[in-house]
Amino acid sequence: MTRPYPILRSDEGTVRLPIHLGSSHSVRPIRTAFRAIVKERILPAVRVLFPSLLVLSLTAVAHAQGTMDFSGAQTLMGTFKTFAMYAGAVICLGGLIFAGIRMMSGRFQDAIPGLFGALFGAGVLGWGAGWIGSLTGQSM
């Protein structure tokens, strides 16, 4: 009496199925041929065409430069300028408050970093907003 399936016993470490789930041996020559085609034909063609495709893409970008619209950039830079003004004011005010509290308590040496912070905030307020405004040609 032959059975279509193997007998499954608990003392066996592995179970063999009646069908083979792995790749068949007839697929290996196809894979080898495919790898050979890629290696011998496609890769050299890509190596030859890559510099030309790179130059053509850069040429397309260079031709598009005259048609770019930078109206949104001025709005964005205006937002940066406003942020620089507010950030400079907050830094300057924070440094002055820090230095003032230290001075009122009599520790003048501890107030020096706060004064430098206020000076830095004033620089951000003045030069930062002016520099950002000069990039876009906006008046202060």
The one-letter code for the residue type at 125 is L
Instruction: Rank 70-84, 103-117, 118-132 by mean pLDDT and report only the highest.
Output: 103-117
Cβ atoms of 121 and 139 closer than 8 Å: no
Torsion, Cα 121 126 130 133, to 10 degrees, reads: 60
- pLDDT per residue over 70-89, tens digit each? 677 777 777 888 888 888 89
Confidence of residue 97 (pLDDT cuts 50, 70, 90): very high
Confidence of residue 128 (pLDDT cuts 50, 70, 90): confident
Confidence of residue 21 (pLDDT cuts 50, 70, 90): low
CA dist., res. 54 & res. 5, Å (int): 60
Instruction: Determine the average pLDDT of the residues in 87-105.
Output: 91
Instruction: Give me 98's structure tokens.
Output: 């820090």
Confidence of residue 101 (pLDDT cuts 50, 70, 90): very high
| Coil/strand/helix, residue 47 | helix
Q: What pTM did the predictor assign?
A: 0.43
CA dist., res. 140 & res. 134, Å (int): 9
> Is the predicted pLDDT of residue 16 greater than 70, yes or no?
no
The one-letter code for the residue type at 77 is M
| Coil/strand/helix, residue 140 | coil
> Is the predicted pLDDT of residue 24 greater than 90, yes or no?
no
